[in-house]
Structure 1
Amino acid sequence: MALSDADVQKQIKHMMAFIEQEANEKAEEIDAKAEEEFNIEKGRLVQTQRLKIMAYYEKKEKQIDQQKKIQMSNLMNQARLKVLKARDDMIADLLTEARQRLANIAKDPAQYSALLEGLVLQGFYQLLEPKVTIRCRQQDVAMTQLVFFSIQAAVQKNIPIYKEAVKGDIQVQIDRDRFLSPDISGGIEVYNNNGKIKVSNTLESRLDLMAQQMMPEVRVALFGANPNRRFLD
């Protein structure tokens, strides 16, 4: 039995409605899947960027901490250098004051004469030469009655002591032509026969030697013991 036009139209509309429904459902499915994939990709991108941002700021934070440590270390080093310079300046002032006081020693004839005796004998022992020359300050030579005879007396007194100690002879000459610098506070220089070997026993040289040897004790006395020092020898 043939279908009427109305039945045909009805079936066509029914098929179109079915196709449209299928298409809508498929479109919704595609949209849902696309939305899901979009959200997944968006989440991945957001997480990736978030990790990058966290890593960036973590790196920046480490750089800032490192810069702070470097700045703190520099400041501590600068402060330490200032302290060391202040201590060195204080010691330099102390030695300067000590050098200024050396001149007072030569003003006491008895004290200076006894000191010269020790300096002369020490010079003999240090050189161990059969012929030596002693050089002193010009003003010491000029002050004949006071100091020069003290040097002469020290020489005469120490020659037999030296001979007995070393079992040898010694000839001593006092230089009357060349003198120590006027800046020297006192003391002597002793030379071997050809003048190539010198023993400096001026008050300044003795002070420098004593200051070098006693510097650790001086620093402890002025600034206290170093807490970072592990060994005392």
Structure 2
Amino acid sequence: MALTDADVQKQIKHMVAFIEQEANERVEEILAKGEEEFNIEKGRLVQTHRVKIMDYYEKKEKQIEQHKKIQMSQLKNQARLKVLMARDDMVTGFYQLLEPKVTIRCRQQDVDVVQAAVNKNISIYKETVKSNITVRVDQDHFLPSDICGGIEVYNSNGKIKVSNTLESRLDLVAQQMMPEIREILFGSNPNRKFLD
């Protein structure tokens, strides 16, 4: 049995249709697989970058938190030093006056700190001097707010004053250092007998 041209054409068409169908299925399969791989890769990249971004912001949050802790620690230390300085200024003033009644003047913003320090320092003074003292923080007259801090202690009638402000201490140090400053600026003078 010989095949006629029509049968051959029919078989060729059938084979071409089969090959085209196979090719289309293969193309769809390749496209589907490519899309699936693309989605997997895209998901992996998105996840990787999401993790990087989250890590970055976690580090930033930790840095901010650490910075806040450092600032809080510095503020606490400054407050503690302020209290210690007020206490030292106060006790020094009490010792210099040795009066039974004293009045303290401070900056208006330091009143609470000074009042707290007064309560602690009275007992220290009483133990050391073995004498009672009455302390009043002046609520009517304040030191200028532009000074750096400190207190002034007055006796009961206000005639004797001990100034323990930073400015007064710097003036005292400047006067004490005057001979050294003079020598640095102008050199030593062989004719000078007194070095004050």
- Following the alignment from structure 1 to structure 2, what is the Cα–Cα distance between the partners of residues 224 and 109? 43
- Following the alignment from structure 1 to structure 2, what is the Cα–Cα distance between the partners of residues 212 and 113? 27
Number of the residue aligned with 1:17: none
Deviations 1:210-232 (A, max 9, x none): 21122112323444433433565
1:196 to 159, 180, 183: 159
Deviations 1:120-150 (A, max 9, x none): 0110011111111111012323xxxxxx32x
Number of the residue aligned with 2:139: 176
Partner SS for 1:195: coil
Number of the residue aligned with 2:92: 122
Runs of 4+ residues deviating >6 angstroms: none
Report the TM-score when normalising by structure 2.
0.53
- Following the alignment from structure 1 to structure 2, what is the Cα–Cα distance between the partners of residues 118 and 202? 11
Report the TM-score when normalising by structure 1.
0.46
- Following the alignment from structure 2 to structure 1, what is the Cα–Cα distance between the partners of residues 119 and 194? 47
Number of the residue aligned with 1:32: none
Number of the residue aligned with 2:106: 136
- Following the alignment from structure 1 to structure 2, what is the Cα–Cα distance between the partners of residues 199 and 174? 14
Q: Does the CA-based 8 Å contact 2:179-2:195 persist in structure 1?
A: no
- Following the alignment from structure 2 to structure 1, what is the Cα–Cα distance between the partners of residues 95 and 108? 25
- Following the alignment from structure 2 to structure 1, what is the Cα–Cα distance between the partners of residues 195 and 104? 40
Partner amino acid, structure 1, of 2:167: E
Partner SS for 2:177: helix
- Following the alignment from structure 1 to structure 2, what is the Cα–Cα distance between the partners of residues 138 and 232? 41
Partner amino acid, structure 2, of 1:161: I
Number of the residue aligned with 1:187: 150
- Following the alignment from structure 2 to structure 1, what is the Cα–Cα distance between the partners of residues 89 and 159? 19
Segments of structure 1 that go 5 or more residues without pairing to the other structure are 1-106, 142-147
Q: 1:111 to 1:217 in 2, by over 3 A?
A: farther
Q: Does 1:206 align with 2:169?
A: yes
Q: 1:232 to 1:178 in 2, by over 3 A?
A: closer
1:108 to 50, 57, 78: 78
Identity %: 68
Partner amino acid, structure 2, of 1:195: G
Q: 1:227 to 1:123 in 2, by over 3 A?
A: same
Residues 13-32 of structure 1 correspond to what in structure 2 (within 5 A)?
none
Q: Does the CA-based 8 Å contact 2:106-2:142 persist in structure 1?
A: yes
Deviations 1:51-97 (A, max 9, x none): xxxxxxxxxxxxxxxxxxxxxxxxxxxxxxxxxxxxxxxxxxxxxxx
1:228 to 185, 191, 194: 191
The structural deviation recorded for 1:171 is 1.1
Larger radius of gyration: 1
Counting matched residue pairs gives: 120
